[in-house]
Chain A
């Protein structure tokens, strides 16, 4: 399946009914060609609704992390436009926070300083930023670990620190680059459940990158399926799964299983 930028546009038309939440992030025919001529993205257009979790899902090397980092302003795009909250992205900004796959914690700094780092860079006074950090450390379940160092924590706990750091700057959009891929399976499931709760309660918009179909369907309000490089949006799926109540129930829900199967059928031909 190949969609030119022009035919990708109607995809945006199948968005939630008019009057629904406006997109917080708009990606308009964004392309990215790396020096050396590798074309990672080719005219991607995509909207991210406010207050929801949207997932970028696709085969490995399809440019989903590239797109996320373009939205973050960490790498420049070669063409097109990215708007966050109506303003064009030219670099990183305070309305976006990033959660890294490899946690990206400063090993020489305590949990407290790591979580408060975003505020430290903004020049927030020490007592003030530590009060905020303390709240978010507790929020992610690390109360009592404030003075520990990253090497004293497990992988799962380290990512909790990364998450607390992103929440502490109170950004509107939280960008998550395969945040759970470096933690063990049990921890991952726990994280997924907590993420649902976070999306429901924080009122933030989340953009989530994963290569796991199950994870995408479990956590997402909306999934953008990306094709192989050069990447385009091949489909947009909105799993209509009833959330709330028992998080374990979702994994046995027939709607959940159907969507997983559907996506698998669509992605299958990208293999080999």
Chain B
């Protein structure tokens, strides 16, 4: 954007909103929305505390494990659905249903089945992220040009070779996009899971901050999570762009 000859950097918009937040924090709204500067200080204060680090460790562990499971299940499942009409007919309605369903409502069911522990959180992460990975992988595999598949067959590729050297690579741009979207959903999953279980990780902290009305702490925690999700998204988008050169020429 250029205003009267000055080129404003993209971050300028962010700065403006930060200023507005700061000002709003000094008005009466301050009791629910404290000024940004104080929240930033609070972040610096609470991040090194053992309770925060503990929560971070537990959250990170559930998040990673959940994503590994979601990718491990989602990519092969999407591939099968992309290649087999029968599997596709059987599973697609469910995948679409779960993709659009209000999954938070299902977390209590998992809680009943798996208790108030990390297992429930991990499963919530999987539940949030796996469906979009399945759908994207399926779309990627269905988009593979027939002649690439025929090429592999004509040179004697076995099923496994075709899968690992053609399908996986040809569908990689879509798969990576699916994983990125899945991870963003997984951030929601891990937080919602912990909030509902409320005795694990950040869930405990949120519970304490809210019940004691520690708004600065509450926002500090949110800020950390937002920053995490944003960084994750940017990092994965960069990875996606590195295979983008061939996405258009398959």
Say whether B155 contacts A169, CB under 8 Å: yes
The answer, yes or no, to whether A102 is at the interface (CB within 8 Å) is yes
Name A104's contact: one of B145, B243, B245, B246 (CB within 8 Å). Answer: B145
CB distance from B163 to the nearest CB of A (A): 13
For B83, the chain A residues whose CB sits under 8 A away are: none
Which stretch of B67-75, B123-131, B146-154, B218-226 is in the interface?
B146-154
The answer, yes or no, to whether A239 is at the interface (CB within 8 Å) is no
Say whether B151 contacts A100, CB under 8 Å: yes
The answer, yes or no, to whether A98 is at the interface (CB within 8 Å) is yes
Say whether A94 contacts B156, CB under 8 Å: yes
For B150, the chain A residues whose CB sits under 8 A away are: 69, 74, 98, 100, 104
The answer, yes or no, to whether B172 is at the interface (CB within 8 Å) is yes
Interface residues on B, range: 20 to 34
The answer, yes or no, to whether B210 is at the interface (CB within 8 Å) is no
Q: Give CA–CA (A100, B150) in the complex, Å.
A: 9
Name B250's contact: one of A93, A100, A101, A107 (CB within 8 Å). Answer: A107
**Cβ < 8 Å to A, chain B residues 131-161:** 145, 147-148, 150-158, 161
The answer, yes or no, to whether B209 is at the interface (CB within 8 Å) is no
Q: Give CA–CA (A66, B120) in the complex, Å.
A: 54
Say whether A121 contacts B246, CB under 8 Å: no
* With A151-B245, A151-B249 as contacts: A104 and B151 at CB distance below 8 Å: yes
Q: Give CA–CA (A73, B154) in the complex, Å.
A: 8
Say whether B152 contacts A107, CB under 8 Å: no
The answer, yes or no, to whether B169 is at the interface (CB within 8 Å) is yes
Say whether A108 contacts B172, CB under 8 Å: yes
Name B145's contact: one of A102, A117, A118, A150 (CB within 8 Å). Answer: A102
CB distance from B48 to the nearest CB of A (A): 44
Say whether B243 contacts A108, CB under 8 Å: yes
Complex interface bits, B207-230 against A, C-beta within 8 A gives 1, otherwise 0: 000000000000000000000000
* With A74-B150, A102-B147 as contacts: A107 and B156 at CB distance below 8 Å: no
Name B246's contact: one of A94, A107, A117, A169 (CB within 8 Å). Answer: A107
For B33, the chain A residues whose CB sits under 8 A away are: none
The answer, yes or no, to whether B166 is at the interface (CB within 8 Å) is yes
**Does more than half of chain B's interface fall in helix, strand or loop, or is it mixed?**
helix
Name B156's contact: one of A92, A100, A101 (CB within 8 Å). Answer: A92
Say whether A107 contacts B154, CB under 8 Å: no
The answer, yes or no, to whether A106 is at the interface (CB within 8 Å) is yes
Q: Give CA–CA (A118, B157) in the complex, Å.
A: 8
Q: Give CA–CA (A104, B144) in the complex, Å.
A: 11
Say whether A97 contacts B246, CB under 8 Å: no
For B245, the chain A residues whose CB sits under 8 A away are: 107, 149, 151
Say whether B249 contacts A121, CB under 8 Å: no
For A101, the chain B residues whose CB sits under 8 A away are: 147
* With A102-B147, A150-B249 as contacts: A92 and B166 at CB distance below 8 Å: no
CB distance from A171 to the nearest CB of B (A): 10
Say whether A97 contacts B147, CB under 8 Å: no
Q: Give CA–CA (A120, B155) in the complex, Å.
A: 10
Say whether B246 contacts A151, CB under 8 Å: yes
CB distance from A256 to the nearest CB of B (A): 32
Q: Give CA–CA (A92, B147) in the complex, Å.
A: 14
Say whether A92 contacts B169, CB under 8 Å: no
Q: Give CA–CA (A254, B155) in the complex, Å.
A: 41
Q: Give CA–CA (A57, B125) in the complex, Å.
A: 58
For A169, the chain B residues whose CB sits under 8 A away are: 155
User: Could you say which of A69, A104, A117, A149 has the most chain B C-beta atoms within 10 Å of its C-beta?
Assistant: A104
Q: Give CA–CA (A102, B154) in the complex, Å.
A: 15
Say whether B147 contacts A118, CB under 8 Å: no
The answer, yes or no, to whether A56 is at the interface (CB within 8 Å) is no
For A107, the chain B residues whose CB sits under 8 A away are: 245-246, 249-250
For B145, the chain A residues whose CB sits under 8 A away are: 102, 104
Say whether A106 contacts B148, CB under 8 Å: yes
For A98, the closest partner residue in chain B by CB is: B154
4 closest cross-chain pairs (CB), A and B? A107-B246, A104-B151, A104-B147, A118-B155
Q: List 23 A-B contacts (CB under 8 A).
A: A92-B153, A92-B156, A93-B156, A94-B156, A97-B155, A98-B151, A100-B150, A100-B151, A102-B145, A104-B147, A104-B150, A106-B148, A106-B169, A107-B249, A108-B246, A117-B155, A121-B152, A121-B157, A149-B245, A150-B249, A151-B245, A151-B246, A169-B155
A-side residues, CB < 8 A to B, are 69, 72-74, 92-94, 96-98, 100-102, 104, 106-108, 117-118, 120-122, 149-151, 165, 169
Known: A151-B249, A169-B155. 8 other contacts (CB 8 A): A69-B150, A74-B154, A94-B156, A100-B147, A104-B145, A104-B151, A107-B250, A121-B155
